[in-house]
Structure 1
Amino acid sequence: MYNILMLDDDQEMIATISPLLLHSGLNIQHIFSATTFSQGLDYIREYDIDLLITDLEVEGLNGIDDMQQVKLIKPSIEIIVVSTHNTFEYAQAAIRLGVKNYLIKPLELEPFLDSVREVLLHVNIARPAIEHTHWAQGNHFQMQRHTIQNHIKLNQLFAPHAYIPQEESVYQSLGLHGPYYAMIKIQYQPLTSNQVALTVADHYLLNYAVMNLAVELVHNQWNSVTFETDECEVNMIMQWDETSYLQGWHHKIRQLNQLGQLLHNHINNYLHIPNVIGISQILKGNEFINQLNIQAHRALMWHTQYPDHHVFYYGDMYWKKHEVSEPTAVIEENKGKNPYNLIVSQVKAYIEKCYGQKGLTIHDVAKKNHVSPNYLSYLFKKNTGFNLWEYVIKLRMEESRNLLLETDLRRYEVAERVGYESPEHFSKIFKRYYGISPSEFKQLQA
């Protein structure tokens, strides 16, 4: 059964559409509604939401790029945007960020229901179809592999300290146009049956399955070149020309992190293959192209230090100024300083100061502390035992309890003090946290 979240401040539209969806023949369990972006994020964190239907004009949603926050919290969620912005640029940006459909208000109900049916069918059938594919059925995979010659050339080109050709035609022939590049390296463990190693044919199909899934995820959304190594690795070269890079360039790293998380989740969930993702920085120019491989490989190595984390961005790591081949060397050099604990301490101090701020997001916290949201969430959980947003809610609930005990503030005033725009939403969170509503809590103290 499906859970749907409708994020829109038009309550009349929600009241009209919700019963239509519930009686549309779709297997819908529950339809949630939220009127602000931060309230919607809370629902996505707390419930298993399959589909988000969102307007772009709700309070706290500052442009379509904020949809990345939704995908970071729940990578598998599908999104339909409904908007009054009838422009190609908005629709193009939405599709680039993984939005499944972009509909214009006022909604035509039949096309809207058709769109919801199509997206939920995708949730239920399209991805899991990969899960049930047997490796022997190689004809299920239709992706075209590189020729042997190009496979060799790509591996040679991206090898550490490789000779870098000057001729532009070499790169063009391999589909590399740049000038901006980043590498996502997927390292996975080969499957075995009863401790018996896979045959060459099995290994070939396994490689192919990982590549196929990776290519499918970026299809029509990223300009990329994907190739395998001779080991259990797949490399994805993401590239941008000058124009596309400068459009929202400050969001590129966030998008790469989100894509890395999607890759890990899909390979793990649908192919059942343990995997780790390493992501390089974005570098400009063919002369730095083999640095991408070095960076992505180093990022991967941090999995040995943090085995319960699976997506690593090179730019988040603490490196020595000179060449380092192992992350342990950095750790040894900085014993007693532990930069990771320092980051978590700074983040805790920031949250304790700003938890009452309306519209606070993980991205705000990460940006203030100069790390990616994905990596920050991991560090915080590892060092405190709390999910980062659980910690925000903990502080908000403890403060609201104190305010209810010690002051005569009304419910809406308490909600505002601890960062909630909606008193109703505050009451729901309070009851879920303490088991009783704020008014019931107040009566018990009387």
Structure 2
Amino acid sequence: MYNILVVDDEPLICKGLAGLLNASGLGIGKIITAGSGEEALDCIRMEEIDLLITDIQMGEMSGIELMHQAKIVKPWMQTIIISAHETFQYAQMAIRLGARDYLIKPLNGEQFLDSVRSVLLKMDKPLPRTEEVLSGGHEDFRMEEPQPGFSEPLNRLLDVTVDHPDEPYPMQSFYDSIGIAGPYFAVIKVKLAFSGADGESAFPEKDIPLMQYASLNIIKELLDQELNAQVFYAPDRSINILVQWSEEEYAEQHSNRINQLEMISRSMHHHIGKYLKIECTVGISQILKGLQFVNVLSRQADKAMLWTREHGDYHIFYYGDFSWHNYARDPNAEELSTQSNRIVEQAKAYIEDNYNKKGLTIHEVAKRNHVSPNYLSYLFKKITGFNLWEYVVKLRMEESKSLLLHTDLRRYEIAERVGYESPEHFSKIFKKYFGVSPSDLKK
């Protein structure tokens, strides 16, 4: 059963689409509606949402911005965009962010349900190439291992230290032939856990090449629509990814490249675990300009993954989340704990000063702490026991309750004071938190 969130600033459209979905006979568990991007984002943070259906033009937060923020929280959540404008630029941005369909208003009910049905049917299926691998594929399908002639030069590129960067690289003609030009690069490494915690192999030896190949196909499938990257086997049965951007691609506005790398890495981890039942750890480097720094990026991805020794329940590690420059050597457990506590305390202080700010996001809090949103969310939950957005809501609700009981402020005035863009949104969150509406509590 799937949970669906319908978002539109026209209440009649929300009601109509929810009615169509309820009467569709599809495997739908819960249908939630929201009248703005901010309200929808609260739902995504606090509920298990499988499919987001959103209008593209809604007040302060557009459907595109909602998609971007939602991807940070749940990168595997599927999205259908609805719009009154058949604008190529909007459609292009939506598809780039992973939208499964782009429907034009006025909506045809049958076409709308066909789109939803198509998305839901694909949710429980492995990605196409992976499904072929796991099922044995069609009659003419044969598993083809990436040839050593492809992987070895790329692994050499990750390992070689260049003393004279102006001189041609060894194998330069090979790199040119497969389109490695950059000039901006990042390295992602996916370490597959073929052994359990006891060191025993979780798979028969004969199945490991198949699982490695299936993992590689999942990664390729996810990257095809997102990034220009080379995916190849590492010598230790893991998978290496060399990502590149041209000058034009890197200069595109409104693109946070590290967020993009982290979101795709979270999707890799999610899909490999879901379809193959293989645990994996992902290390992400920074982004540097110049082919001569690829070996530096490779070491960064390796070093980032070392932190799994301290964070065994975390799986996506970005090199820039750790203050390496503060230590002459790798920090010990006590130093790591001190650093983690400092990040969380700084985040709490910022939230306490800004919880009543409209449009506050986890991304903004993370940026102030110079860490990625997901790492901050992980640390916050680990150290405080509740997630970061729950803390924002807690502060907002405690303040709003005090204002309700001790002032004569109206509901819309209280909503404004505690950071909600509408009294309706405020009332929904208030009733979910306290179990009664603001007016009932006032009585």
One-letter amino acid of the structure 2 residue matched with residue 79 of structure 1:
T
How is 1:25-424 mapped onto 2 (pairs within 5 angstroms)? 25-61=25-61, 64-127=64-127, 137=136, 145-159=145-159, 161=161, 166-167=168-169, 168-191=172-195, 195=200, 198-248=203-253, 250-320=255-325, 329-332=329-332, 335=335, 338-424=338-424
* TM-score (norm: length of structure 2): 0.89
Give a deviation string over 1:186-207, Cα, whole Å, max 9, x none.
1121057994575543221121
Task: Give the drift of 1:132.
Answer: 11
Distance in 1 between residues matched to 2:411 and 2:31, nearest whole Å: 26
Give a deviation string over 1:69-120, Cα, whole Å, max 9, x none.
2122222210011224433332222212111112233334333322222111
Distance in 2 between residues matched to 1:249 and 1:285, nearest whole Å: 23
Distance in 1 between residues matched to 2:62 and 2:367, nearest whole Å: 15
Distance change >3 Å, CA 250–CA 142, structure 1 → 2: farther
Query: Do the aligned partners of 1:55 and 1:83 also contact (CA within 8 Å) in 2?
Result: yes
Aligned partner of residue 331 in structure 2, secondary structure: helix
Query: Do the aligned partners of 1:183 and 1:296 also contact (CA within 8 Å) in 2?
Result: yes
Query: Do the aligned partners of 1:68 and 1:255 also contact (CA within 8 Å) in 2?
Result: no
Give a deviation string over 1:225-275, Cα, whole Å, max 9, x none.
101112131111121111112113741111111111111111122211111
Query: Do the aligned partners of 1:268 and 1:274 also contact (CA within 8 Å) in 2?
Result: yes
Distance in 2 between residues matched to 1:138 and 1:196, nearest whole Å: 26
Distance change >3 Å, CA 176–CA 79, structure 1 → 2: same
Give a deviation string over 1:33-83, Cα, whole Å, max 9, x none.
111111101111222211111122223325725522212222221001122
Give a deviation string over 1:348-405, Cα, whole Å, max 9, x none.
1110011111221111222233221111111212222220001001111111121122
Query: Do the aligned partners of 1:161 and 1:290 also contact (CA within 8 Å) in 2?
Result: yes
Distance change >3 Å, CA 150–CA 220, structure 1 → 2: same
Distance in 2 between residues matched to 1:219 and 1:204, nearest whole Å: 22
Query: Do the aligned partners of 1:190 and 1:232 also contact (CA within 8 Å) in 2?
Result: no
Residues paired across the two proteins, number: 437
Tell me the C-alpha RMSD between the 2 structures. Answer: 3.0
Distance in 2 between residues matched to 1:197 and 1:212, nearest whole Å: 20
Aligned to 2:440: 440
Q: Which runs of 5+ in 2 are unaligned?
A: none
Task: Give the drift of 1:347.
Answer: 1.2
Task: Give the drift of 1:21.
Answer: 2.4
Judge which range, 339-348 or 57-66, deviates more: 57-66
Distance in 1 between residues matched to 2:124 and 2:337, nearest whole Å: 48
Aligned-residue sequence identity (percent) comes to 48
Query: Do the aligned partners of 1:143 and 1:212 also contact (CA within 8 Å) in 2?
Result: no
Task: Give the drift of 1:127.
Answer: 4.9
Query: Do the aligned partners of 1:36 and 1:59 also contact (CA within 8 Å) in 2?
Result: yes
Q: Which runs of 5+ in 1 are unaligned?
A: none
Distance in 1 between residues matched to 2:255 and 2:83, nearest whole Å: 24
Task: Give the drift of 1:30.
Answer: 2.8
Query: Do the aligned partners of 1:151 and 1:227 also contact (CA within 8 Å) in 2?
Result: yes
One-letter amino acid of the structure 2 residue matched with residue 292 of structure 1:
L
Distance in 2 between residues matched to 1:112 and 1:219, nearest whole Å: 26
One-letter amino acid of the structure 1 residue matched with residue 286 of structure 2:
Q
* TM-score (norm: length of structure 1): 0.89
Query: Do the aligned partners of 1:82 and 1:103 also contact (CA within 8 Å) in 2?
Result: yes
Give a deviation string over 1:289-346, Cα, whole Å, max 9, x none.
1112111111111111211211111111111379x7xxxx342599499333222222
Distance change >3 Å, CA 200–CA 345, structure 1 → 2: same
Structure 1 runs, 4 residues or longer, greater than 6 Å off: 138-143, 162-165
Query: Do the aligned partners of 1:160 and 1:293 also contact (CA within 8 Å) in 2?
Result: no
Aligned partner of residue 320 in structure 1, secondary structure: helix
Task: Give the drift of 1:32.
Answer: 1.4
Distance change >3 Å, CA 274–CA 60, structure 1 → 2: same
